[in-house]
Structure 1
Amino acid sequence: MSGAQPLARHRLVDLTWPEARELFAADPICLLPTGATEPHGPHLPLDVDVVISSAQAEAAARRLVAAGVPALVLPPLSYGVTFFTEGFEGRVSLRPGTLWSMIDDIVKSLEEQGVRRICMTNAHLEPEQVKVLRGVVLDHGAITKNKAHLILADQLRRRWTSTLGAEFATGECHAGDYETSIVLATDPDRVRTDVMAALPGREVGLVAGIQSGVKSFRELGADQAYCGEPAAASAEKGREILEQLAEITVVTCREAWPERFQGSV
């Protein structure tokens, strides 16, 4: 396999087992998108977080392959911890321990086949979800002879929050301008644009609410499961945000595994 092949040949589900064996032997960086199935306003589909984290992983894979670093995009985790959207139809939640076990099993299965580098991308930013992802990373903290190293491209770290736009920096971004723009850039036919255009901006004090112990969007008054400014979204903004998410991912990988990038473009 060469870096000149289409990205589709660098998604695990598109490979045959001999192709997977060949790519595993090349010491790839495996990208694991994590998301959730939950309400995102009256204008976006339930799998927004899956769409975003998958697009982030694929954009990062393009950059890695172009730099001469083998990359493999794993099938996304489409379910997560979704306590905050309780009371809205369409929410499917895992318990935190279930999500932890799923990720742990994926890592162990891959490391049995020789994979040593796995980077999660995550677009579902509910505190309990992020807590699980950061926690399971600590259990897989270094490459050894028989163990894989798991890392998280964590856009919630202070160094990154200001690079993803004003709405993201405030935290008022659930199904707002930030997320809607990315979906417009990646899967526009699934956005209910007529509904989007009519939605008023809504600030619900999400970050302050979480810090004070609020447990759901309904408690915050987000009675349509969105906040921010969805009507301000555009595909152009979404493409810019996605490129920055890809940059965050590649930089995270480069800092974790500088030796893998030696000799890369």
Structure 2
Amino acid sequence: MGYSIFEKTMADMTWQEIENASKENQIVLFPLGVIEEHGPHLPLGTDIYWSYASCRRIQEELNSKGERALIVPPYYWGINHCTNGFQGTFTVRAETMKAVLMDIFNNLHDWGFHNIFCNNYHGDVMHIRAILEAIKVARSEFGLNVRMLIDFYDLNRIGLKGDEDDILVLNPDYPEEFYTGMLESERGLYDIHAGGYETAFMKYCFSELVNEEVAQNLKSTSLTENELKQWGEGGESTRSLVPLGYAGNPAGYRNITNIDYIEKFTTEYIVRQIIESLND
């Protein structure tokens, strides 16, 4: 995977190539994330790197199935409520974010695109709701088929039922191999931010951006149910809970040796869901 999150996106295409893609009614993949602290071992851009890399794999898998797709330049000016007490965490107002996203959707509509799938890799509820509100406007005012990919386990905390037209629910039946590498001491805890899996993923796709020497010596700060509530308070409350800015077990990345299998399985599942949604 290249270093630039613009590589092989619309940013590297000519306007004529965009015009031809719209005439072919190509699928549009839209990576979304944020710039926020990710502990002392990962870069601020971890979420958007992850979202971008995921879109690249989805694009390649769609193309292999005969479905042409292109990628919007990544959007990373999002909302960070939980980690806003740390330097380097950028956050924008919800109305600002929604306005920019609606303008982007309007552009895509004006260029002739119709099927847009938003791939967000940031779990802040306020951030996700801003995306969904912009999508609702794009669907009603521009007539676009815009949907957000969303994991089944996120539905309840966002206040969704799962049958909404503006989302595509992901609920794969993960095989047992998916959980290889999980430490017994971590079971029942929440590794949600800059922990084992996120560190493993970054090592897999952007190894030059991971400080392994630091990661290997970090103690686990995976959260209990009560601590998860404190994490959600943001500001100094979150910072007092996790002073170094990570909520998980970064050193556990060394035990996750099947990252390629996990990503391949997940990508193939997402592509099947996208294709099925277009044929409904």
TM-score w.r.t. length of structure 1: 0.83
| Residue in 2 that maps onto 1:223 | 243
Structure 1, unmatched stretches of 5+, are: 1-7, 260-265
CA RMSD, Structure 1 to Structure 2 (Å): 2.8
Instruction: Tell me whether 186-195 or 76-85 shows the greater mean CA deviation.
Output: 76-85
Name the CA distance, whole Å, in 1 between partners of 2:16 and 2:114.
19
The yes-or-no answer on 1:175 pairing with 2:194 is: yes
Map 1:51-62; keep pairs closer than 5 Å. Answer: 51-62=49-60
TM-score w.r.t. length of structure 2: 0.79
* Identity rate, percent: 23
Q: Which residue identity is paired with 1:29?
A: I
Please tell me whether the aligned partners of residues 39 and 91 of structure 1 are also in contact (alpha carbons under 8 angstroms): yes
How far off is 1:156 after superposition?
4.8
Say if 1:217 and 1:175 are closer, same or farther in 2 by CA, change over 3 A.
farther
Name the CA distance, whole Å, in 1 between partners of 2:96 and 2:144.
20
Q: Which residue identity is paired with 2:146?
A: L
Q: Which residue identity is paired with 1:179?
A: E
Name the CA distance, whole Å, in 1 between partners of 2:37 and 2:149.
24
Please tell me whether the aligned partners of residues 153 and 248 of structure 1 are also in contact (alpha carbons under 8 angstroms): no
How far off is 1:140 after superposition?
3.6
Name the CA distance, whole Å, in 1 between partners of 2:128 and 2:190.
14
Match of 1:147 among 143, 155, 173: 143
For each residue in 1:83-120, what CA deviation from the matched residue of structure 2 results, as whole angstroms up to 9, or x when unmatched?
Answer: 21122111111111211111111111011111001111
| Residue in 2 that maps onto 1:98 | 96
Instruction: Tell me whether 125-134 or 57-66 shows the greater mean CA deviation.
Output: 125-134
Say if 1:56 and 1:83 are closer, same or farther in 2 by CA, change over 3 A.
same
| Residue in 1 that maps onto 2:253 | 233
| Residue in 2 that maps onto 1:3 | none
How far off is 1:247 after superposition?
3.4
* SS at structure 2 position matched to 1:153: strand
Name the CA distance, whole Å, in 2 between partners of 1:30 and 1:174.
28
Name the CA distance, whole Å, in 1 between partners of 2:55 and 2:264.
11
Name the CA distance, whole Å, in 1 between partners of 2:204 and 2:188.
20
Name the CA distance, whole Å, in 1 between partners of 2:72 and 2:187.
26
Please tell me whether the aligned partners of residues 85 and 235 of structure 2 are also in contact (alpha carbons under 8 angstroms): no
Q: Count residues with an aligned counterpart.
A: 249
Map 1:1-265; keep pairs closer than 5 Å. Answer: 11-141=9-139, 147-157=143-153, 160=171, 163=174, 165=179, 171-205=190-224, 208-209=226-227, 214-216=232-234, 218-220=236-238, 221-234=241-254, 236-258=257-279
Please tell me whether the aligned partners of residues 121 and 153 of structure 1 are also in contact (alpha carbons under 8 angstroms): yes
Name the CA distance, whole Å, in 2 between partners of 1:255 and 1:209.
39
Please tell me whether the aligned partners of residues 25 and 114 of structure 1 are also in contact (alpha carbons under 8 angstroms): yes
For each residue in 1:140-159, what CA deviation from the matched residue of structure 2 results, as whole angstroms up to 9, or x when unmatched?
Answer: 448x9x63211111125466
Name the CA distance, whole Å, in 2 between partners of 1:141 and 1:168.
40
